[in-house]
Structure 1
Amino acid sequence: MQSFIQDVVQDVLKNNSDLGKTIFILPSKRAGVFLKKALSSSLTKTVLAPEIYSIEDFIEKVSNLVTANTTTQLFELYNAYLNVGDYDKESFDSFLKWGQILLQDFNEVDRYLVDANNLYQNVAAIQEVNHWSVNSDNSEIIENYLHFWRHLEGIYNKFNDNLLKQGLGHQGLIYKISVSELNNYIASVNKQHIFLGFNALNTAESILIQTILEQTNAAIYWDIDPYFLKDNIHDAGYFIRQYQKTWKVLKDKPLAGLTNYYNTEKHIEIIGVPKNVSQVNYVGDILNNIQNNAPETLRNAAIVLGNEELLNPLLNSIPESIPATNITMGQKLESTTLASFFINLIEFHEQKTDKGWFYKHLLNLLTHSYAVLLFEANDVSTNQLISKIKLNNWSYINNDQISRLLPKNATVSLLFEDIKNDPNRLIENFLALITSIRSIEAVKQNPLLLEQLYKFFTLFNQLKDLCNNFTYINNLKSLKHLFKQLLSSETLDFQGNPIEGIQIMGMLESRLLDFETIIITSVNEGVLPSGKSNNSFIPFDLKTKNGLPTYKEKDAVYTYHFYRLLQRAKNVYILYNTEPDALEGGERSRLITQLLTDDNRTDIKSVIATPTIQPITKEIEQVEKTKSLIDLIQQKAKKGFSPSSLSNYIRNPIDFYKQNLLNINEVMQVEETLAPNTFGTIVHDSLEELYTPLVGKTLTEDLLNDIRKNVTSSVARNFEKTYKEGNISSGKNYISFHVILKYIQTFIDAEVTALKDHSIKIIALEQSLSVPLEVPGLDFPIILKGKLDRVDEFDGITRIIDYKTGKVERRNVELMDWDVLTEEYQFSKAFQLLCYALMFFKTHPAENLSIQAGIISLKNFADGTLLFAQKESARGPKNHIINNEVISDFEQILGQLITEICNADLPFTEKEV
């Protein structure tokens, strides 16, 4: 296959022997590399090289202006906005949300040489009509809004004048000035101009090219197949058909550069793939297959990304067997981890309140990879910091707490310096942090990271200069908006050999380049073409009236690029996302439908690719009891099984294995609000503290009234002890504090009421018991241990009371069948009560001992004390007495459970909870 560029070079060399007096103008810089390669391979002797320009560089040369960078343009535009009209102006950070749109409009108006004064008068008139009201006076908001539209013309003129005074211009202004400077340029240059590969031209470009063609020895070559020109409704030839009709220099003359390649036999596959990442994975499979079966077809191949955000996943999907790739598109700076670090830091300082930093914002910063890198390089452990914050339940952390936590280190302190909402100080800190990161040994070995650091260093220096020259960035919010906008337009350019390997590019980078093998991704509506978005302040009708491009022209541009890629290609793979998504593109593109309905194309294969789906069957987890695990169980038995750990085994043996044997607990976290277990601990500790003076005493109303006075102070003390430095002065914690007060006061009130008809004597509180068990068949010591919340005498009957802050119902502590105790977790409360009773019996041996055991559920307090009971039927009589016979029966059940836990032949098997 001979490329379009090679065709042009051969034709030029036939008619022009002096390349030194030739100027080539191309749609893009990238094509210039391929033009030089084609020239060098076609020449047989040494000659002076021609001048080669992209159209933007050529027009900049004609205009004698320098293109201002986007940031400078935004600042100058805001400056013009402030200085035109006497009405309330928006802040700089608000302006940034719409300033870019206004900049694009000004750019487009100038490139198409529209009469801006007339246009913006029309825009203002339309807005006046839109906001017409029956009331004679508009509100202040509407007036300010209308003032903006009335002064658009003045803002436009002021903005352009300010740039011109500095010898600068935005792209549109440079195009506009180049038209007025064209005659001076033509008079000063005596060379042949050759234009090649153009399609959609704005008005300024069209006048420039026509004038040069008419007044000088110049030529233009069109990269299009006659097939599209002859079809009067095909969008691929839309612009060039217009030029044939309207350009005098083209009328009644054949177009140069046309070749008949499109209708040649090709291998075209249209593949639907679900979701974006699946598309790039499929690209990897295509490359792998081609490499294995026909590697020569990859010598001249390109991957064109319809959605350029897929670059990173694509790079991870390219097979290692591919010898070389060249990326002709830049990686967006906003997608780097370093960008997220700096945005995180800006937001971290922006989110600081009078109380300090919210712990989640601090943890986000401390766990960021670059923060960890900085800390480790300066011998600071982030894990210790995080543990300290979680241990103390700091919901908010102030500068004093930070300084106590951190060693005195200049670099680390930069992260937390109180910058008082001053963007200049933060930028200075960023520059210092970049220097510190660059000096880290691991970073010195990472060229990509060094390149990113350099790019950010340049960016922050640029921001620093702008902050010094303009006063608009006066807070962190403005800095963040501007920084994010800069990131979205800045790219990190890859270095490579554009002549070798598979070329990875966006659709616009493919202009003028031809490849034998083409893979195009994301060919969906809303991506290719980009859809009906009208990101402009100029209404659609006005755009049409003034010859400005609308989405219709943009669709025709994409159609041309798409079909131009197909013209000379032999192998074409077109991928689209089968899952319509409003954010990532809709259904498959109309370009695919147009291809499939073309009667002249019989070489298209259309398929839907789906990933192989393997059913995932949840396997029940089993842990075999190895010798080391048996040793661990025996150690646990010797140390003591608690009723709650045995209940845990009944619930799920795997949980018992992980939590009670391996001691794998939940990850420690800051309790913003009181966790249920912390809530329970505070209640237990408060009740113990309040009732301890009453141990051994028969309760009286006076004694209970005395301890009632201490409820608030006791709960506050226990809050401070258990909840550490957590805040209880507001929010849910404040409510929890008063809920605990209410629980305990209600409990004491119930005791006072009970004393009217009953006698209550406190025997023990929080009594720790540990008793040995003899289990037949097990020859190692087994201990049952636990803590009895309360032991009392109620009308002469000894009771074991367990406090629960969660909800417990009477059915959870009443049994009809002993077997359910170790089989169903809903009876775990009854199981625990019997364990406490067994320990009490073992430590208080007596022949006719009988007791009761019950739960007081503070959340379900109205049901009173929920006593353990045996019954023969659901509605049968209940027996609340626990005697030696009951304990003997339970001991057998408990022995069977412990035997099962210790049985080496029975693995721990997961239960579905």
Structure 2
Amino acid sequence: MPERTTFLNHAAKIIQGDDFSGKKLVITPNKRSLFRLRHMVPEADFETVDELMQKLSGSNLIEPEELLITFYQAYKRLEENAQPFNEFSKWAITFLGDVNEIDLYLQNVSSIYEHISAYHSTGEGFDGKEKGELESSYLSFWERLPEYYQALKTDLAKLQLSYRGSIYRTVVENLESSPAKIEKAFDGYRLYWLGIVPGNPCEHRLLEWLDARSQLKTLVDVDHYYLDRKLHEAGRPFREQKFLDNSDEPTNLLLNSQYDFKIHPLTGRFAQIMRLKTLIEDISEEEYGNSAIILADLTLVQPLSSLIQDKGLKIHLTSGYPLRNTTIHRFHMSWINLHQTSITRNGEKAFYHKFLKEFFEFPVVQEWLAGAIEWKSLKDRIVKKNIKYVPLSWLQESLNDDLFAREALRLLFEWDAESSTLFQTISEILGNWRSAEGGIKISKFDQVCLDAYIEKLNLFLTQFNEVVEEADLTLLKQFIHRHMAHARMHSELDDEDGLHAMTLFETRLLDFKHLIFVGASDDHLPGSMHKVSHIPMIHRLHFGLPTRRDSESLYSYHFYRLLQRSERVDFIYDTSMNALSGGEPSRYIAQLKEELTRQNLKASISLVKEANVLMESFQNELSITKTEDVVNSLKAALKNNLSASRINQFINSPLEFYFYYILKVKEEDRVEEIIESSTFGNIVHKVLEEIYKPFIGELIDLEQLQKAIRISDEITERVFESYFERAEFQTGQNLISLHVIKEYIKGFVEWDVAEMKENGPVRLLSLELRMSERFKSNGLEINLYGVADRIDSRNGEIRVIDYKSGKVEASELAYDEERIGVDFKHGKALQIALYIYLYCQRHNLDESQVGGYVYSFKNRKAGYISLTVKSMGSDSLLDSFAQRLDSLVSEMLDPSTPFTHHEDSKYLTV
């Protein structure tokens, strides 16, 4: 293959150069490559693999939501005491994923589930004893699954619809039962099959059948670099592939071409988007067609769309974006929640004030009711009257006489909050957003999502009525939210004009000279390949079903294939650390650095520092002068609340302190598709609080605590479910988070039991203790505030304990009065010192009676890490801390020093 020629150009020349006189049919893995190749070979016919398989099977591909409904109807026919749909969905989605793989890999459903059932019935789980009711029910579940499978297949056949695995399996069965039908479909055609050949056993059988009839030419894009290295995961799908003999010679690009790899380690999502903006501005429009943005982290889609809209960039954002993450869905859920929690008081509807405030904060609501309802004055009235539930009449009275606003009020607040009228009302609302007459301006990204969202809602209405006989808003909200988890906004564009942003899998068969990977941390590139399955690994291996290793190999291949014809590749990733992420770059970056660039001397790899990510004029020149108004605002804030986190924020970046603490700037609320570090920590704290709460005021009973370990998983799941729908932590990063938290909890409690056995009993005094004390400084009475995770006592010492989900070293808890309040690296020591100060002040104790400790879940071997205090002469810890705090407050209030950003600040978020 000529060097640097795109794979599709190369394939087009081969197809056009083939002297076959009959018809030519080109099979591609996706629409995007089909669109491009069709322009190059207009005389050929084109189909994607899925389209071909649907045609050969006689069945069309069913939507995931419709498949679940169809399965539920089949299940209800078989079960006299069928589960409600919400309970059924919890296991059915996983089951459907499993049978899809079983069919794709041509395995026998009955054999697999009988194998699993037999394994469990004789396994150590039942100790060889007679099975009880629970065990019998458990085994019966496995035995019933093949029957569910057959019932589903029967119903789908009647509809001439099916899921992907079943469609592919039917084609293989037709090769034996109806070969004439298959031969007729390919009569007179030469097939050119592009992509991974074959992708699964069903494709393998079809390709063997075609190859035996000399109707097949495969075109596979592989490189010797990973194909010839037995341990390289990217070559694994192709080794021992006989179809490579019938394909092209592999390329030798990765070891012989010139590459410029640039690594951009940055802090935060905003910094990544700003760096991306800078890189895009350096690309000329003429080079847009040769450049692509690869979205490894889909949470960056929305900020990227805002960047496109704000800057008028010519970028096609075509990634499959979860509809559940859109502003539309967040608005919808908030709207239902507002009505779901409303009450009837004095004969009229009344809304809970917090949910009403949350609802009015949506920009689209503010715009719709702008000039008609003055929310600020209404909010002031609510606060002044101390109203918990706001009557609908207050909204009506506040409304100006405006036709459009009155219609908005009717739709948003006055509708009958019943499941039967919800779909009609939300359709009217979204229709107003879409129509020009509605006068509502929403972002271009939301406009694109709007049609897809309305289409899904209409589908859900039909499905909901089919599976739920009696429903309320709570059930309906759960139904919509769960189903939106599987809905994506897709846009296949037959357009090469403009820069494209896509996921790695969307790049199949495409080539670009300049690639920009965004979100290229190891958490996203490749990210977790774990998926929920009812089929344990031992049975997967026995029956030859795909494993995590197969998924990782496939992802690795797509990554290296995309690099083959590139020239420059930028990798942007987030260095922020949290409970699950160490802020590490993708392992592919490490492979490029340690392997490829050492073997290919024409390939270079360089690090681009963070210094230029945020505009230097913004980072270095922006400062806030402490005017009288600013100082007065700061004083008011100090009187209200000053915590360790705010003090550390000031030490780290006074400018950030100003934005967050004085201006009260907050990051935009958003749905957590993936658990965030703060939520992770909250869940850990709440689970431990529930486990230890029975012991407050008493010696901790080790026997009872050990019993709690057995139910800790159940408690963790219950707490997790208070933050996320159960469907949201069945797969992916959230599932990993759940398992990590379970291990954290078990590990801590087991360690705590062992520690008490070794060192003596502990009396638990408090959990999640909120402490506040008045502190006088600079003529102000400041409200110092802190929350101690655990207070206990042993041998006369009171221990103030803080849990940390991240890693903490002993050196971080060294109290050095010369560095406390000056160096952000001593922030954890400052926090524990503050807690000791608050507790001693509150209970009139001497510091010798109170110790401060941290338990780090990422440094469990260290146990309780104590606050160590360097020699301070005659000053006590309490006196030293009070003096340092007084100095910090003086610095905060000093009008001669503006709020600026420190150059060595750990991060800047505004």
Report the 3-state secondary structure (helix = DSSP H, G, I; strand = E; otherwise coil) of the residue aligned with 1:94.
Answer: helix
The 1:390/1:143 distance shift into structure 2, 3 A limit, reads farther
Counterpart-to-counterpart distance in 2, 1:52 and 1:584: 43
In the alignment, what sits opposite 1:670? none
Give the AA of the match of 1:351. Answer: T
Assess if the C-alpha contact under 8 Å between 1:284 and 1:319 holds in 2. Answer: no
Counterpart-to-counterpart distance in 1, 2:99 and 2:469: 22
Report the 3-state secondary structure (helix = DSSP H, G, I; strand = E; otherwise coil) of the residue aligned with 1:611.
Answer: helix
Report the 3-state secondary structure (helix = DSSP H, G, I; strand = E; otherwise coil) of the residue aligned with 1:569.
Answer: coil
Report the 3-state secondary structure (helix = DSSP H, G, I; strand = E; otherwise coil) of the residue aligned with 1:431.
Answer: helix
In the alignment, what sits opposite 1:416? 413
| Corresponding position: 1:222 with 2:238 | no
Q: Pick one of 130, 146, 154 that aligns with 1:153.
A: 146
The 1:466/1:451 distance shift into structure 2, 3 A limit, reads same
Query: TM-score, structure 2 length as denominator?
Result: 0.62
In the alignment, what sits opposite 2:263? 271
The 1:403/1:280 distance shift into structure 2, 3 A limit, reads closer
| Corresponding position: 1:604 with 2:578 | no
Residues 112-261 of structure 1: matches in 2 within 5 Å?
A: 112-128=105-121, 129=123, 131-132=125-126, 136=130, 138-139=132-133, 143-182=136-175, 183=179, 184-190=181-187, 191-199=189-197, 201-244=199-242, 253=245, 255-256=247-248, 258-261=250-253
Give structure 1 stretches of 5+ with no counterpart: 41-48, 626-643, 653-664, 668-806, 813-819, 828-906
Report the 3-state secondary structure (helix = DSSP H, G, I; strand = E; otherwise coil) of the residue aligned with 1:364.
Answer: helix
Give the AA of the match of 2:530. Answer: S
In the alignment, what sits opposite 1:553? 550
In the alignment, what sits opposite 1:363? 357
| Corresponding position: 1:428 with 2:424 | yes
| Corresponding position: 1:35 with 2:37 | yes
Q: Deviations over 1:821-843 (max 9, x none)?
A: xx94679xxxxxxxxxxxxxxxx
| Corresponding position: 1:346 with 2:360 | no
Q: Pick one of 294, 298, 308 that aligns with 1:308.
A: 298
Give the AA of the match of 1:329. Answer: S
Q: Pick one of 460, 483, 486 that aligns with 2:457.
A: 460
CA shift at 1:135, angstroms?
Answer: 6.8
Counterpart-to-counterpart distance in 2, 1:593 and 1:290: 26
CA shift at 1:323, angstroms?
Answer: 7.1
Report the 3-state secondary structure (helix = DSSP H, G, I; strand = E; otherwise coil) of the residue aligned with 2:41.
Answer: helix
Report the 3-state secondary structure (helix = DSSP H, G, I; strand = E; otherwise coil) of the residue aligned with 2:599.
Answer: coil
Q: Identity percentage over the alignment?
A: 22
Of stretches 410-419 and 359-368 in structure 1, the one that deviates more from structure 2 is 410-419
Computing the radius of gyration from Cα coordinates, the structure with the larger value is 1
Give the AA of the match of 2:58. Answer: N
The 1:592/1:63 distance shift into structure 2, 3 A limit, reads same
The 1:435/1:311 distance shift into structure 2, 3 A limit, reads closer
Give the AA of the match of 1:308. Answer: L
Counterpart-to-counterpart distance in 2, 1:620 and 1:323: 35
Report the 3-state secondary structure (helix = DSSP H, G, I; strand = E; otherwise coil) of the residue aligned with 2:471.
Answer: coil
Assess if the C-alpha contact under 8 Å between 2:522 and 2:584 holds in 1. Answer: yes
CA shift at 1:506, angstroms?
Answer: 0.6
Counterpart-to-counterpart distance in 1, 2:781 and 2:210: 91
Assess if the C-alpha contact under 8 Å between 1:306 and 1:523 holds in 2. Answer: yes
Report the 3-state secondary structure (helix = DSSP H, G, I; strand = E; otherwise coil) of the residue aligned with 1:220.
Answer: strand
CA shift at 1:221, angstroms?
Answer: 1.0
Counterpart-to-counterpart distance in 1, 2:449 and 2:216: 43
CA shift at 1:66, angstroms?
Answer: 1.2
The 1:109/1:130 distance shift into structure 2, 3 A limit, reads farther
CA shift at 1:334, angstroms?
Answer: 2.5
Counterpart-to-counterpart distance in 1, 2:629 and 2:317: 53
| Corresponding position: 1:542 with 2:545 | no
CA shift at 1:60, angstroms?
Answer: 0.8
Assess if the C-alpha contact under 8 Å between 1:306 and 1:507 holds in 2. Answer: yes
Counterpart-to-counterpart distance in 2, 1:260 and 1:284: 33
Residues 402-801 of structure 1: matches in 2 within 5 Å?
A: 409=406, 411-417=408-414, 419=416, 422-439=418-435, 440-443=437-440, 450-471=447-468, 474-494=471-491, 498-581=495-578, 587-598=584-595, 599-602=598-601, 603-607=603-607, 609-611=609-611, 621-623=626-628
| Corresponding position: 1:109 with 2:105 | no
Counterpart-to-counterpart distance in 2, 1:272 and 1:434: 40
CA shift at 1:344, angstroms?
Answer: 0.8
Give the AA of the match of 2:428. Answer: A
Q: Pick one of 49, 55, 60 that aligns with 1:55.
A: 49
Counterpart-to-counterpart distance in 2, 1:477 and 1:517: 48
Counterpart-to-counterpart distance in 2, 1:506 and 1:609: 25
Give structure 2 stretches of 5+ with no counterpart: 641-661, 665-771, 783-892, 899-910
Assess if the C-alpha contact under 8 Å between 2:260 and 2:604 holds in 1. Answer: yes
The 1:576/1:205 distance shift into structure 2, 3 A limit, reads same
In the alignment, what sits opposite 2:682? none
Assess if the C-alpha contact under 8 Å between 1:443 and 1:449 holds in 2. Answer: no
CA shift at 1:616, angstroms?
Answer: 9.5
CA shift at 1:575, angstroms?
Answer: 3.3
| Corresponding position: 1:71 with 2:65 | yes
In the alignment, what sits opposite 1:14? 17
Counterpart-to-counterpart distance in 2, 1:427 and 1:112: 40
Q: Deviations over 1:243-294 (max 9, x none)?
A: 23xx6xx6xx463253322222323224141345233322333333454xxx
CA shift at 1:495, angstroms?
Answer: 7.3
The 1:910/1:237 distance shift into structure 2, 3 A limit, reads closer
Report the 3-state secondary structure (helix = DSSP H, G, I; strand = E; otherwise coil) of the residue aligned with 1:23.
Answer: strand
Q: Deviations over 1:500-551 (max 9, x none)?
A: 2322111001100111222223333342223352321111111111111111
CA shift at 1:194, angstroms?
Answer: 0.8
Counterpart-to-counterpart distance in 1, 2:605 and 2:142: 53
Assess if the C-alpha contact under 8 Å between 2:433 and 2:439 holds in 1. Answer: no
Assess if the C-alpha contact under 8 Å between 1:430 and 1:460 holds in 2. Answer: no
Report the 3-state secondary structure (helix = DSSP H, G, I; strand = E; otherwise coil) of the residue aligned with 1:16.
Answer: coil
Counterpart-to-counterpart distance in 2, 1:25 and 1:211: 16
Give the AA of the match of 1:435. Answer: G
CA shift at 1:576, angstroms?
Answer: 3.4
Report the 3-state secondary structure (helix = DSSP H, G, I; strand = E; otherwise coil) of the residue aligned with 1:187.
Answer: helix
Counterpart-to-counterpart distance in 2, 1:350 and 1:537: 35
The 1:302/1:441 distance shift into structure 2, 3 A limit, reads same
Counterpart-to-counterpart distance in 1, 2:560 and 2:773: 72
Assess if the C-alpha contact under 8 Å between 1:419 and 1:425 holds in 2. Answer: yes
Paired residue total:
630
Query: TM-score, structure 1 length as denominator?
Result: 0.62
CA shift at 1:559, angstroms?
Answer: 0.9
Assess if the C-alpha contact under 8 Å between 1:624 and 1:908 holds in 2. Answer: no
Give the AA of the match of 2:514. Answer: T
Assess if the C-alpha contact under 8 Å between 2:26 and 2:193 holds in 1. Answer: yes
Assess if the C-alpha contact under 8 Å between 2:256 and 2:600 holds in 1. Answer: no
Counterpart-to-counterpart distance in 2, 1:265 and 1:499: 25
Report the 3-state secondary structure (helix = DSSP H, G, I; strand = E; otherwise coil) of the residue aligned with 2:552.
Answer: helix
Counterpart-to-counterpart distance in 2, 1:12 and 1:473: 59
Q: Deviations over 1:586-626 (max 9, x none)?
A: 6323322222222312322231522359579986623499x
CA shift at 1:29, angstroms?
Answer: 0.9
Counterpart-to-counterpart distance in 2, 1:617 and 1:329: 36
Report the 3-state secondary structure (helix = DSSP H, G, I; strand = E; otherwise coil) of the residue aligned with 1:478.
Answer: helix
Give the AA of the match of 1:491. Answer: R
Assess if the C-alpha contact under 8 Å between 1:622 and 1:908 holds in 2. Answer: no
- Cα RMSD of the aligned pairs, angstroms, is 4.1
The 1:188/1:619 distance shift into structure 2, 3 A limit, reads closer
Counterpart-to-counterpart distance in 2, 1:321 and 1:213: 52
Q: Deviations over 1:455-476 (max 9, x none)?
A: 3332222122223333267233
Q: Deviations over 1:746-804 (max 9, x none)?
A: xxxxxxxxxxxxxxxxxxxxxxxxxxxxxxxxxxxxxxxxxxxxxxxxxxxxxxxxxxx
Counterpart-to-counterpart distance in 1, 2:444 and 2:608: 41
Give the AA of the match of 2:412. Answer: L
Q: Pick one of 76, 80, 83 that aligns with 1:82.
A: 76
Give the AA of the match of 1:67. Answer: L
